[in-house]
Amino acid sequence: MTTTSPTAVTTCEACWKEPVEGVRVTTSGADLICRPCAVGNYPRRVDLFPPLGIYGLTERRIEAGRHGSGAPQTPPDQGPPLPHPPPTPSPPGTPPV
């Protein structure tokens, strides 16, 4: 009897339809795939569509993108200053003014 954890991959990583039937070992790691995808030598979808998965995200790609750009910057035009004193809120049940 095989037990799986709640986070275990049970669907093929290539077609996302069939149950996992085997493991294909590649240079980038192990692929959990079904038999038809293994015979057809289909790639994992997360490798084809990186925004949908994190498998293809490397440190170099993180540094090159917007992921490690440092502290947030304020926009160049911040708009008009807030009113002082702040306006009084509208009474309950009435639309805001």
More confident residue, 31 or 53: 31
Residues 39-49 have pLDDT tens digits of 998 888 766 55
Q: What is the pLDDT of residue 2?
A: 60
Task: List, in sequence order, the alpha helices (H) in the chain.
Answer: 35-40, 45-48, 59-64
What pTM does this model have?
0.43
- pLDDT value of residue 16: 86
* Helices (runs of H) and strands (runs of E) counted in the chain: 3, 2
**The pLDDT value given to residue 57:** 52
Between 14 and 6, the higher pLDDT residue = 14
Average pLDDT, the chain: 75
User: Is a pLDDT exceeding 60 seen at residue 26?
Assistant: yes
- Would residue 75 be called left, alpha or beta, if left means φ above 0 and alpha means ψ between -120 and 50 degrees? beta
